[in-house]
Amino acid sequence: MTPISFWHDTLAPGDDLTPRAPLPGDTAVDVAIVGAGLTGLWTAHSLLRADPSLRVVVVEREVAGFGASGRNGGWCLGEYSGGVGPTERALGRGAAAAMAREMFRSVTEVGAVVADAGIDCGFHRGGAIYIATNAGQLKRLKKKHEEYVRHGLGDAWELLDAKRASTVVDARGVVGGLHTPHAAALHPARLTRGLADEVEHLGGTICEATAVYAIEKGCVRTDHGDVRADVVVRATEGYTSSIEGHGRDILPLGNYMVVTEPIDYPAWKQIGLANRELLELSYLLLGYGQRTADGRIAWGGLSGPSWWAGHIPPSPMRDSRVEARLRRALVDMFPVLDGIGFTHHWGGVLGVPRDLQPGIGFDRAKGYAWAGGYTGQGVAAANAAGRGLADLILDVDSDLVHLPWVGHRSRRWEPEPWRWLGVHSAISAMRAVDTADRLRG
């Protein structure tokens, strides 16, 4: 079988992605969680740590970590999607700082669980650097930094001039950068698969190869029977459109990655990223990457396709044009990689809410909880979401249940053809700005 991604092709020894047993039939539990990605698994993990007596079942159509949780860029980043200004407007005064600082804590929390559980996912807290290679990108980085400072987050982000940025990563044409220490590189599939094992160790049940087609009050309907539960948690992110009645809740947006063959030491001396800093090139259709634990570059972005009516292409996902674009951009940044081999190319879908603001919530009267809409920044955010949902469900009065994203619901996406036209127009406009910046720069 063609691997789903580089990450799935390099799992821990003995993990061959064999599905766990499906739902055995009609079942009754305390909490039913739909989706064995990071949101669902962190929710189960948090619930069971708080109350080991709970009957918790996680239902998954494929296998744990099959979707975006297992095939993303491996960025555990202390940042909140949606932008500082829009977050303030959508969630209220002080929201951006409150959410950002919870994301910082989530990076620490992920690292602590990984260490305690012995999850071998190459977690390394080396920070992240955003670089600009032309005037348009630099202007956006400076504006981003100004917003952080204005909202009390200046201590977490440092603006770098060209010389200082180049000491971190010597990419061709760097004119400046923005750095944060609140970030870690990791192997996302190993993290997700290891977290699933930890959920089972804590007493939870994970049923794979079980497709959910509807969520009703107190019931999850699957192709293997119904799960009756006091609480149902929807944690389906980019795959939300596959559930009846939820087709316009979250937009599944495509994204693609490539991975190089291992890079030798002399080349790494020229490139930098000596502390395995996460790297982002500040296009509007951003490019992002990491130095993997085995000395490759995993590099993605520069795309953003969507499909009619929320359709999601079957996996493994491929796009030869995006693959070529990613390869060219990487070699253009690092000429020392000219002639380097690429071992993997893959794609997946991330979940985008209509206002770009993620949210979590729990309707106690209906017994229904939800979380998601991370727009590609979900590795740390899913941890915060899972801990927050557990406190909401267990009625724990913690700081997590008072965060600004609690109870936030984005309005639904427009019906077709308006959604497709709007999304593709926006992506085309961003690509035009990136091209213009590059030509001027």
- Tell me the mean pLDDT in the region 236-249: 95
Axis crossing angle, helix 418-440 with helix 135-150, rounded to the nearest 10? 110
- Structural domain span for residue 336: 6-440
Q: What is the pLDDT of residues 24-51, one digit of tens each?
A: 999 999 999 999 999 999 999 999 999 9
* pLDDT greater at residue 264 or residue 3: 264
Contact 260, 295 (CB under 8 A): no
The candidate with the shortest Cα–Cα distance to 376, out of 7, 144, 65, 74, is 74
pLDDT bracket for residue 284 (50, 70, 90): confident
Does the residue 1 lie in any domain? Answer: no
pLDDT at 304: 83
- In the predicted structure, residue 247 carries a pLDDT above the cut 80: yes
Residue carrying the six token digits 């994204």? 255
Q: Is residue 134 part of a domain?
A: yes
Is the pLDDT assigned to residue 207 strictly greater than 90? yes
Q: Please give the pLDDT value at position 85.
A: 86
Residue 190 belongs to a domain: yes
Number of domains the chain is built from: 1
pLDDT at 82 exceeding the cut of 90: no
Please give the single-letter amino acid code of residue 146: E
Residues in the chain: 441
pLDDT of residue 441: 65
The CA-atom distances, in angstroms, between 213 and each of 202, 207, 252 are: 28, 15, 17
Asked if pLDDT for residue 393 goes beyond 80, the answer is: yes
Average of pLDDT values for 385-402? 98
The answer on pLDDT for 438 being more than 90 is no
State CA 404 to chain mean position distance. 20
Which residues are CB-neighbours of 148 under 8 A, at least 6 positions away?
A: 84, 154, 156, 157
**φ and ψ at residue 100, rounded to 5 degrees:** -60, -45
pLDDT at 440: 81
416 falls within a domain = yes
For residue 3, the one-letter residue type is P
Q: What is the per-residue burial (b if ≥16 Cβ within 10 Å, else e) of 356-380? A: bbbbbbbeeeebbbbbbbbbbbbbb
HSE, CB side, 13 Å, CA atoms: give it for residue 18.
5
Mean pLDDT of 187-211: 98
289 versus 3: the higher-pLDDT residue is 289
283 pLDDT higher than 90: no
| pLDDT for the residue 1 | 53
pLDDT value at residue 302:
82
Q: Give the residue-averaged pLDDT of 284-298.
A: 95
Tell me the three-class secondary structure of the chain, residue by residue.
CCCCCHHHHCCCCCCCCCCCCCCCCCEEEEEEEECCCHHHHHHHHHHHHHCCCCCEEEECCCCCCCCHHHHCCCEEECCCCCCHHHHHHHHCCCHHHHHHHHHHHHHHHHHHHHHHHCCCCCCECCCEEEEECCHHHHHHHHHHHHHHHHCCCHHHCEEEEHHHHHHHECCCCCCEEEEECCEEECCHHHHHHHHHHHHHHCCCEEECCCCEEEEECCEEEEECEEEEEEEEEECCHHHHHHCCCCCCCCEEEEEEEEEECCCCHHHHHHHECCCCCEEEECCCCCEEEEECCCCCEEEEECCCCECHHHCCCCCCECCHHHHHHHHHHHHHHCHHHCCCCEEEEEEEEEEECCCCCCEEEEECCCCEEEEECCCCCHHHHHHHHHHHHHHHHCCCCCHHHHCCCECCCCCCCCCCCHHHHHHHHHHHHHHHHHHHHHHHC
Q: Of 237, 240, 238, 229, which is closest to residue 205 (Cα–Cα)?
A: 229
CATH of the domain at 109: 3.50.50.60
Structural tokens at position 148: 């952080």
Residue 391 has pLDDT above 60, yes or no: yes
301-322 pLDDT, tens digit per residue, is 988 889 998 899 999 999 999 9
Provide the pairing of β-strand 158-161 with 278-281. unpaired
Q: What proportion of the chain, given as a percentage, has pLDDT over 90? A: 92
Cis ω for the linkage preceding 314 (within 30 of 0): no
**Other CB atoms within 10 A of residue 83 CB:** 17
pLDDT surpassing 60 at residue 324: yes
Say if residues 57 and 26 touch (Cβ distance below 8 Å). no
Cβ-contact 297, 262 below 8 angstroms: no
Q: List Cα–Cα distances, 318 to 175, 212, 234, 273, 413, in angstroms.
A: 33, 26, 28, 28, 26
Short-list 160, 188, 190, CA closest to 176: 160
